[in-house]
Amino acid sequence: MNKKQIKRALISVYHKDRLDAIIKKLHTEGVELLSTGGTAQFIKQLGVPCRTVEDLTGYPAIFGGRVKTLHPAIMGGILARREISDDRRQMSEFHIDAIDLVIVDLYPFDRTVKLCATEDDIIENIDIGGISLIRAAAKNFYDVLTVASQAQYEPFLQLLDEGGAASTKEERRWFAKEAFAVSSMYDSLIFNYFDGENSAALRIAQNSAKLLRYGENPHQKGIFFGDFEEMFVQLQGKEISYNNLLDIDAALTLINDFEEVTFAIIKHGNACGLASRQTLPQAWKDALSGDPVSAFGGVLITNAMVDKLTAEDINKIFFEVIIAPDYSLEALEILTQKKNRIILILKDNNLKTKQLRSLLNGFLVQDKDTKTETADDLKTVTQRAPTQSETEDLLFANKIVKHSKSNAIVLAKGGQLLASGIGQSSRVDAIEQAIAKARHFGASLEGAVMASDAFFPFPDCVEIAANAGIKAVIQPGGSINDQKSIDLCNTKDVAMVITGFRHFKH
């Protein structure tokens, strides 16, 4: 296996943690070091000799440090092709020394933007020299090894420890691939800052690729691009699957709409049980009673700390995942009895604000549906207005139907999901499915409310609901037959409110 020796290295970095080990190892291997500004001072403080870029080029850093390394003596030393005689001749003619290793990271542009800095500060954190060095070294990976971020310090140190200051072409190609990942993400961040909300083009870059066991089905490949550990602490359990992630996302999006103590059970992206109560044990019991069959193998989520009493009840059923802001020690002793259970602590629920879906030969992008109706959004259109308790239930049911696959109908009463009809091709099918499920599990629909994710094209759904005991309905309105539905409600003494906001979900 042919290896190329590293004889000269250019080092210019922002992040210096763990850099000392690399520098000392390179020095031990007899590598000549070349550096700039603060990095040169850092190297010299370690007692390691270092030549400055200014000394090599004969130019100081100019324009407030904007121009330091963009010089033929630097770029030529990186880009020169060692195997081509004409390149070697020009290196000799112009006194250019080869640079075999480039360790460069980039100004923290993204962090500067997140700190809400001034535009002048943000612009100054657009790296020019660093990105040019990274791309040049990665392009010439036949001869040059590139370390383009702090994340690559560890694998580079491992390379040095195992083989000294030398690398194979395959190793350099791997580091080049990582370097182009860094540069492409950096450019995407900059473009998205300048583009703002214009969406002139789609630029997405995400590190931390995690290969999953499989996709939705075993014959499909699945990968998660994101930082799961930034949002959750996994206390125990098996490896999280593609389908687990879909349900975890659905669960978190749903629970974010509830401020009261709430427990929800998610199955295939929909709530099959949900209740808001004064205490968590009661919220769990009432959530489970909505559909104890579908709860089997589900994803559980709550916005309150799980205590011992709740854990004892939860422990009686089989579930895949549980998510909570915290757990008591007694609760964990109970829940961890079955080792495959995935137990998550939610650290950060800062979800993305855009939804992306591959489709045909492109992508669909939309804002997430973050509209949660309040009492101020409700317009009573019937002779009878909903009572205070009915209004509370209407808003409660509307939150659930917003997160249910269309066509969707939700039946609720007293802060409890009684049943839902979801993913149906007609709204009549959805209401009939919901009523049948509620009756199957012994729920009384007398005095319950109904929420619909879209308008009623005909009054038949309202009639079916009223005959089942529903006393109040919430819907977005907008059908040419709205008045027929309103008239039917009036004859049945059913209150109807219109929100003006549709909540389709495919």
Sign of dihedral through CA atoms 20, 25, 26, 27? Answer: positive
Between strands 342-346 and 232-236, the pairing is: antiparallel
Integer angstrom CA distances of residue 36 from 32, 478, 491: 14, 65, 83
Best CA proximity match to 301, nearest among 336, 352, 267, 350: 267
Sign of dihedral through CA atoms 171, 172, 173, 177? Answer: positive
Distance CA 269, CA 298 (A): 10
Tokens 């700039």 belong to residue: 36
Helix (H/G/I), strand (E/B), else coil: 460? helix
Q: Is 95 a catalytic residue?
A: no
Distance CA 182, CA 150 (A): 11
Mind spelling out the 3-state secondary structure of 384-423?
CCCCHHHHHHHHHHHHHHHCCCCCCEEEEECCEEEEEECC
Is 143 in contact with 81 (CB distance < 8 Å)?
yes
Which amino acid, 453? D
Distance CA 28, CA 359 (A): 54
CB atoms within 10 A of CB 319: 18
Beta bridge partners of 236: 343
Tell me which of 24, 71, 238, 268 is the catalytic residue: 268
According to DSSP, residue 227 is labeled -
Distance CA 215, CA 356 (A): 17
Q: Is 403 a catalytic residue?
A: no
Tell me which of 3, 7, 24, 139 is the catalytic residue: 139
Burial 2-25 (b: 16+ CB within 10 A, else e): eebebbebbbbbbeeeebeebbeb
Between strands 262-267 and 298-302, the pairing is: antiparallel
Q: H or E segment at 425? A: none
Is 436 in contact with 391 (CB distance < 8 Å)?
no
Integer angstrom CA distances of residue 169 from 144, 146, 154, 173, 427: 9, 12, 19, 6, 61
Active site amino acids: 139, 268
